[in-house]
A and B are shown apart, each in its own frame.
Chain A
Amino acid sequence: MLNFTSPLFFVALALVACGLYILPGRWRAAYLLVLSYGFYAMVSVRFLALMVAGSLLAYGIGIGIANARSDSARVRLMLLGVGGLLGGIVVFKIGGAWHGWLLPLGLSYYSFKLISYVIEVYWDEDSVERDLTLFLSYPAFFPQIISGPIQRSEPYFQQVRALAARRLDSAQIEEGFRLIVTGLMLKLLVGDRLATLIAGVDAAPGSFGRIDLLVTIAGYTLQLYADFAGYTNIALGIGKMLGIDGPPNFNAPFLATNIQEMWRRWHMSLTTWLTDYLFIPLTMTMRRYGLAGLLLCITINMALIGVWHGFTLNYLIFGLMHAVYFSLTMLYLRYISPPRGKKAPPEPRLRRIVRTAFGMVLTFALMSSTQIFFHSARFDQAIGILRQVFGLIPSGARSIGDIGPGAAETFVICALITVWAGCGAPGARRLSDRIAPVAPRWLQYGVGLFLLATLTPDSAGSFVYGQF
């Protein structure tokens, strides 16, 4: 199968991207649709039919809402559309968690796109899209189908319309290529190495020492970031090659100094989606209950972020832990923390640095504690790890270095690279510019490709977020 890490995929991409710009403008939307359906059909024709059915439902509902004469008809149609699409996700997620069903590729991602479209049309009838070809290409857009990012309809439609009149833009192609190469490096060279080492600990966590287990738990967060941010860069890069900019998913999440800030920087296309379509409407409805209502809305929102990943107890606990951390952070910032602002009394430099560093480390540690439940397949596995961490059951004597030759060094190097990337890769642009006179951009990309060709582990390939 063609996937985003196979060299064959990128050969095909180069050809289809050329095809896009050779075609007359009016055919480009149809071309994107054919490419996207072709990509999907290679995975499953049966599930393609499901996506087409969901898309046609949202298309019809959108036109129905725009043409409806009464508010009550608009509400009914919106509820029908949202209910139908959510129902599809719920049925398959339950089937997947409880009966081992195969999940249709990208179901939660394209359904969330379609739901946002239906709600947007309900809020503003002018957002309706009547061009069927253009509309169908939106949920199916293949760079975003495996794991998002979840793009909103309006910016997508605008960009595809503009594509009709566009010429090949070398800056956009280069930017797309840069995103793909850096994304592949983060995913294949770093994330997949961490994944292999973590799998080595997962095989028998009880045989490892407590410190090594704690380091591995930090590794869960790092590996997830390297995997998912790597994927997102690749997806955004492929989109860019085809002239479509997608929304960002990460904004240097490891720089966050509290959990509330972390959620502004992590999986942003999902969190902003939930904010707009769930959290704000829900909080407005519950406003008469004051602070208690707000805390309940936060809990519902976070619990749903959890079970969005799958209908399992572990994902629910992951969400509820975040709800507790998030609520405590909000209460602290609102009622306890000293006033901030430009005119607040200046804080001594050293104290500011220590406070920021402490906040970053604490946020990372809290995030990693939730990852124990996110990462473990079963509840009892997560509890076993927690008991070992707190010394309730004895730990073994093995260390990460015992997994294989060079394992400890590999872990440290990959962890440091991931932390650097997760802090926004400070200095990378400047370094690239500085060495450009000696090693021009094409040579830098060449080095990246060379590293990918020589250092990619054999086991590399599948994406963590592909299963959601």
Chain B
Amino acid sequence: MTADAIKHQLTDIFRDVFNDPTLEITDEMTADDVDGWDSLTHINMILGVEQGFGIRFSIKDVRAMRNVGELVQAIAKKRAN
């Protein structure tokens, strides 16, 4: 799966979780950039990603991600394994 394909699918998940049908994601985006992104929506987003991409993160993975770009990389790595 290419990074662009991941981002495309990830955008849909973000729009659903953050209840914003026009949300556009970027690599540098962090929780500070999105209205309503707190620990609860974060965990909802992680669970949505796990379901959508058929992967599982560890707590360590979740803590290590600092922005959307790192999330995309983590998804690509998990999918490759």
Contacts and interface: CB of A to CB of B under 8 A. Distances in A.
B29 interface: no
Given A281-B59, A287-B50, A339 B40 contact: no
Contact of A341 (B22, B39, B43, B50): B22
A161 interface: no
Interface in A332-348: 333-334, 337, 339-344
A281 B57 CA distance: 11
B20 A279 contact: no
B63 A123 contact: yes
B40 A330 contact: yes
Interface in B33-49: 35-36, 38-40, 43-44, 46-47
Contacts of A280: 39, 43, 59, 62
Given A275-B39, A283-B43, A287-B50, A339 B59 contact: no
B23 interface: yes
B21 interface: yes
B39 A333 contact: no
A339 B35 CA distance: 11
Contacts of A341: 18-23, 35
Contacts of A275: 39
Interface in B45-81: 46-47, 50, 57-60, 62-63
Contact of B36 (A294, A333, A343): A333
Given A280-B62, A284-B59, A287-B47, A260 B38 contact: yes
B39 A344 contact: no
A272 B35 CA distance: 18
B22 A342 contact: yes
A375 interface: no
Nearest to B63: A123
Contacts of A339: 19-21
Contacts of B62: 280, 284
A279 B22 contact: no
Interface string A244-286: 0000000000000000110010000000100110011101100
A323 to B, nearest CB: 13
B60 A279 contact: no
Contacts of B60: 123-124
B22 A344 contact: yes
B36 A340 contact: yes
Contact of B19 (A260, A283, A333): A333
Contacts of B23: 341
Contacts of B36: 333, 340
Contacts of B44: 294, 334
Contacts of A279: 39, 43
Contacts of A260: 38, 40
A1 to B, nearest CB: 38
Contacts of B46: 284
A410 B27 CA distance: 53
B16 to A, nearest CB: 9
A344 B21 CA distance: 8
Interface in B10-31: 18-23
A340 B38 contact: no
B39 to A, nearest CB: 4
B3 to A, nearest CB: 24
B43 A334 contact: no
Nearest to B43: A283
Interface in A294-345: 294, 298, 330, 333-334, 337, 339-344
Interface of B: 18-23, 35-36, 38-40, 43-44, 46-47, 50, 57-60, 62-63
Interface of A: 123-124, 260-261, 264, 272, 275-276, 279-281, 283-284, 287, 294, 298, 330, 333-334, 337, 339-344
- 5 shortest A-B CB distances, which residue pairs? A341-B20, A343-B22, A275-B39, A283-B43, A341-B22
11 contacts: A123-B60, A261-B38, A276-B63, A279-B43, A280-B59, A284-B46, A284-B58, A298-B40, A330-B40, A333-B36, A341-B20
